């Protein structure tokens, strides 16, 4: 069967006609397969949702228990049949519960990566490359300028700065699902044992991560009684980036704003955002990882979606791999 008959872009998202389902639809549909819990991929209001157990739990936390008509948990590596289509979820290494989705029918296999990264992450299962006829890759950081340094170096910068500026509160902007927990875990791995303060928006997800066996150490809410600003001197405070530009951050003594994101590779991005200490930590693949993954899957054809499609398509052409952009709309890299 032709690949474009097995999966094709539609206004709602990627559609599989023989199975009559969508992958990560941006509008409510009858049957949805969800790769991971970020809000641009996992939206409420679908009839039936198939996703990993953890993604379903996260959707319930973020969208409410009744986020879908019915739900079904997909176990990683186990093949299900929907219509005549064989569907298998494989780990994507992006955030807790994230999966790639392989669909196979009439001898053609397509793997939709969702969002993925390749480096080790203590808070989720690592990506597995899956051989396929068509690999659908994300391209959030699909430009050769995006090359993420090792996490340890970046966290080392934070730890050093806390030592240099013990009178200031270090505010670390990190998205609420995935990045925040990973950053906290990495700080622990760097040998910081003390209390880490968190913004209220992180509390439930941090609790959930802990319930899944991910140790985050001593976390306290970053709330204060007026006048207790000095209590946060030398503290590390983790919260969603939007909160740091907000009046919320005024409770902290001379806050030093840090932002954990792959975008921090570009100095001008850091400068525009008023970030003093950029931490280049991403839950997406960098350029080298995107290109290496494409080669590993052995796919003779690559479809590129959300991000800088044109550069990755160009690279595939230079390698003699057929490639095209999918031009899906509605994905806004919340996760980085």
Task: Find the part of the chain contacting another protein (CB under 8 A) among 82-90, 100-108, 228-236, 260-268.
Answer: 260-268
**Residue closest to 307 by CA, chosen among 269, 268, 288, 333:** 333
Alpha-carbon span 168 to 183, nearest angstrom? 19
**Residue closest to 319 by CA, chosen among 296, 285, 293, 291:** 291
Alpha-carbon span 151 to 280, nearest angstrom? 8
Please tell me whether residue 263 binds another protein under the rule CB under 8 A: no
Question: How many residues can be counted in the chain?
Answer: 336
- In the set 83, 106, 149, 300, which binds another protein (CB under 8 A)? 149
CB of 206 to another protein, least distance (A): 24
Between 17 and 156, whose beta carbon lies closer to another protein?
A: 156
Please tell me whether residue 140 binds another protein under the rule CB under 8 A: no
Please tell me whether residue 318 binds another protein under the rule CB under 8 A: yes
CB of 274 to another protein, least distance (A): 5
Please tell me whether residue 275 binds another protein under the rule CB under 8 A: yes
Which x/- pattern over 285-314 shows residues binding another protein (rule: CB under 8 A)?
A: -----------------------x-xx--x
- 3-state SS of 144-177 is CCCCCCCHHHHHHHHHHHHHHCCCCCEEEECCCC
Q: 156, 192 in Cβ contact below 8 A?
A: no
- In the set 119, 157, 188, 210, which binds another protein (CB under 8 A)? 157
Between 209 and 244, whose beta carbon lies closer to another protein?
A: 244
Which x/- pattern over 227-246 shows residues binding another protein (rule: CB under 8 A)?
A: -----------------xxx
DSSP-assigned states of every residue in 23-90 = ES-SS--SEEE-S--STTT--S-EEEEEE-HHHHHHHHHHH-TTSEEEEEEPPTT-EEEETTEEEEEE
Please tell me whether residue 271 binds another protein under the rule CB under 8 A: yes
- In the set 4, 62, 192, 248, which binds another protein (CB under 8 A)? 248
Buried b (16+ CB within 10 A) or exposed e, 125-150: bebebbebbbbbbbbbbbbeebebee
CB of 225 to another protein, least distance (A): 19
- In the set 219, 266, 330, 334, which binds another protein (CB under 8 A)? 266
Q: 264, 270 in Cβ contact below 8 A?
A: yes
Please tell me whether residue 120 binds another protein under the rule CB under 8 A: no
- In the set 52, 55, 123, 257, which binds another protein (CB under 8 A)? 257
Task: Find the part of the chain contacting another protein (CB under 8 A) among 32-40, 89-97, 222-230, 262-270.
Answer: 262-270
CB of 163 to another protein, least distance (A): 9
Q: 281, 258 in Cβ contact below 8 A?
A: no
Geometric angle at alpha carbon 25, from 45 and 127, rounded to 5°: 115
Alpha-carbon span 141 to 118, nearest angstrom? 13
Interface residues with another protein (CB under 8 A)?
A: 143-147, 149-150, 157, 161, 164-165, 244-250, 254-257, 265-268, 270-278, 308, 310-311, 314-315, 318
């Amino acid at each position: 069967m032709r690949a474009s008959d097995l999966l094709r872009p539609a206004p709602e998202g990627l559609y599989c006609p023989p199975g009559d389902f969508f992958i990560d639809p941006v509008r409510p549909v009858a049957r949805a397969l969800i790769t991971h819990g970020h809000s641009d991929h996992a939206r409420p209001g679908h009839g039936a949702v198939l996703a990993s157990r953890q993604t379903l739990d996260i959707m319930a936390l973020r969208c409410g228990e009744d986020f879908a008509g019915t739900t079904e948990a997909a176990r990683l590596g186990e093949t299900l049949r929907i219509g005549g289509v064989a569907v298998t979820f494989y780990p994507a290494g992006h955030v807790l519960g994230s999966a790639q989705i392989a669909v196979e029918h009439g001898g053609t296999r397509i793997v939709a990566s969702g969002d993925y990264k390749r480096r080790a992450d203590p808070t989720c299962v690592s990506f597995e490359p899956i051989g396929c006829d068509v690999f659908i890759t994300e391209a959030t950081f699909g430009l050769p300028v995006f090359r993420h340094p090792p996490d340890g170096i970046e966290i080392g910068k934070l730890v050093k700065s806390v030592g240099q500026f013990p009178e200031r509160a270090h505010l670390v902007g990190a998205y609420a699902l995935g990045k925040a927990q990973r950053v906290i875990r990495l700080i622990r791995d760097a040998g910081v044992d003390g209390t880490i303060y968190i913004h209220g928006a992180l509390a439930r997800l941090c609790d959930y991560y802990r319930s899944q066996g991910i140790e985050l150490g001593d976390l306290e809410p970053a709330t204060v009684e007026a006048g207790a600003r000095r209590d946060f001197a030398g503290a590390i405070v983790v919260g969603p980036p939007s909160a740091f530009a907000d009046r919320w951050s005024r409770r902290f003594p001379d806050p030093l704003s840090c932002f954990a994101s792959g975008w921090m590779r570009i100095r001008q991005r850091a400068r525009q955002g008023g970030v003093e200490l950029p931490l280049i930590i991403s839950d997406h693949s960098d350029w080298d990882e995107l290109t290496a993954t494409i080669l590993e899957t052995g796919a003779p054809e690559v479809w590129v979606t959300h991000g800088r499609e044109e550069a990755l398509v160009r690279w595939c052409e230079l390698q003699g791999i057929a490639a095209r952009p999918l031009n899906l709309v509605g994905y806004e890299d919340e996760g980085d």
